[in-house]
Structure 1
Amino acid sequence: MADDKSNRGFRDQSRVSADEEYEVRYFAKQNRITPDEVRALIREHGNDRKRLAREARKLRG
């Protein structure tokens, strides 16, 4: 089932879906990492947006 883009509730904003290419690309661009690195972070740390952002910062610097 596809992600409902009109649903902008709390749960939708706090997670990054590895199944949705646009979410992966957006998160990658926002954090200056590659989409492949985003998918690897999701596999390793889960899909919580705050935790992924913290781990992305570690990758960059």
Structure 2
Amino acid sequence: EALRKAQLAMLRGEVVIADGELKGSGERRVVPLPPALENIENYNLSHPYYWAGFTMVGSPW
């Protein structure tokens, strides 16, 4: 469920990389990027390239 919500937030443009931080909506709105990624320009993560490749495998119980 958490993965699906994260993917939908990215698809809707609610999660972006800006000013060296991962910014989104929800309980934890700003996550600082590690030093190696701080120089990344602003990114809109709504393109499927950024979120479509993730899947969950396994039994929920």
Same fold (TM over 0.5): no
Using structure 2 for the length normalisation, give the TM-score: 0.26
Query: Does 1 or 2 have the higher relative contact order (CA < 8 Å, sep 6+)?
Result: 2
TM-score, normalization by structure 1: 0.26
> Which structure: greater strand fraction?
2
The structure with more helix, counted as a fraction of residues: 1
